[in-house]
Amino acid sequence: MKKFASKKLIILATCGLLAMASPGAAAAPGAGQGPAKSPATPQSTIKKIIQGNDAFRHTHQRNHFDALQTGQSPVITVITCADSQVHTQLFDFEPDNNIFIIRNIGNQIVTSEGSVDYGIHHLSTKVLLVMGHSSCSAIKTAMADYSNETTGIKTELDTLRPVMEMDDQQDPFNERWAQNVERNVDMQVRKGLKLYGDKVEAGELAVVGAVYDFNDMWGKGHGALVVVNINGVTHPQKIMNHPVLNELSRAEIVTHVGSRAK
């Protein structure tokens, strides 16, 4: 089986991630179907957005925006999937000015390297979280023939080939799918360590790999954020004892660390 330093703001991010908390899909083709909705139109969608923004403004006083007047100071850079089922409410703390988030299909550093660089080098965030998710359609699509997809989609899926090469295709499909989700997270962590290893060595940054598991494939409960990699450490027992987690309770650690990859 394969398979975040600490200041108050960093622990806010870490604890928010690890204490939070519907099978799904990613932003790639073949996305899964969610609950039935009324058919959307451009008009109804824009109406919903504008009315939602008015509700947001009416429930957030002027002082909410005061800290945003002179720039941003996030504590964490998150690279995650563009999937509409994956959003920052899963962390259950105010994302404004706390989370610098980058999204693409398959939560890939390689396809958004400049954006990740900005979060690490210019914003000096203390954690780089690579967050995959259960039932990721980017991974599912990359596991099959996607030669008929658009050039843009094919280009972003091609960078997942090293993950597919690790799949021996011996296990049932859903098990392989989950393993490949985790393998991709591990691959992105390796990329992060290659790019920012000096900051990790200096104790200025932790590169954390995790899976947002909304269908309980990792056995920690629906909606759990499961940590599968910290700075390249992938064995669950070693992750549980990693100093990056030393301000969490043992119960929090046990319920948020796991692995499905071989």
The string of DSSP codes covering 205-242 is -EEEEEEEETT-TTSS-TTEEEEEEETTB--HHHHHT-
**Quick one: pLDDT band at residue 33, thresholds 50, 70, 90?**
low
Mean pLDDT of the chain: 88
pLDDT exceeds 80 at position 24: no
Q: For the chain, what percent of residues have pLDDT higher than 70?
A: 86
pLDDT exceeds 50 at position 149: yes
pLDDT at position 13, please? 44
**Quick one: pLDDT band at residue 28, thresholds 50, 70, 90?**
very low
pLDDT at position 93, please? 85
The mean pLDDT of 85-93, rounded to a whole number, is 91
pLDDT at position 6, please? 41
pLDDT at position 261, please? 83
Q: Which helix (H) or strand (E) holds 199?
A: helix 173-201
CA atoms within 13 A of residue 212's CA, in its CB half-sphere = 30
pLDDT, tens digit, 9 for 90 and up, residues 211-243: 999 999 999 999 999 999 999 999 999 999 999
**Quick one: pLDDT band at residue 14, thresholds 50, 70, 90?**
very low
Q: Return the closest-CA partner of residue 129 out of 196, 214, 64, 71.
A: 196
Q: What is 8-30+72-254's CATH number?
A: 3.40.1050.10
pLDDT exceeds 90 at position 94: no
Q: 3-state SS of the chain: helix, strand, coil percent to 5?
A: 40, 15, 45
pLDDT exceeds 80 at position 62: yes
**Quick one: pLDDT band at residue 38, thresholds 50, 70, 90?**
confident
Q: Whole-structure pTM over 0.85, yes or no?
A: no
Output the CA angle 3-188-26, nearest 5 degrees.
95
